[in-house]
Amino acid sequence: MKFDRFHEFGSLLLHDDFVLSYSGYVTEDILKAVGATLRQRLADHIDNPRQRRNVFSIFVELMQNVIRYGTDEPQPVGKCGDRESFGLVMVAQNNTMHIRKGCKNT
């Protein structure tokens, strides 16, 4: 990876008030761990419980999509024999309180 692209990506993320970004292999265990972090971040940044649940539900669906529909490329096989999917999931809140979510299978 070219460092200038990494720096540009990091700079873009810092323009938002709230960011959670995960890039890597995604398994159910990773979903649980990142989900726990997101749940805490949402509690710290969003007062409306309904909005927190909505954002969290969409996040879980995005992560499950990465797990289920990951790349057709060769993937490492976990200890259980399951293929691990690779992806990127981001959740951000900008200064207008608008929540943005994104996902990419690679």
What are the domain boundaries of the chain?
3-105
- Letter for the amino acid at 87? G
- Overall pTM > 0.75: no
H or E stretch covering 51: helix 49-68
Model confidence pLDDT, tens digit, residues 13-34: 676 666 788 888 888 999 999 9
- 79: helix, coil or strand? coil
- What is the CATH code of the structural domain delimited by 3-105? 3.30.565
Structure tokens at 44: 């710290």
Model confidence pLDDT, tens digit, residues 52-62: 999 899 989 98
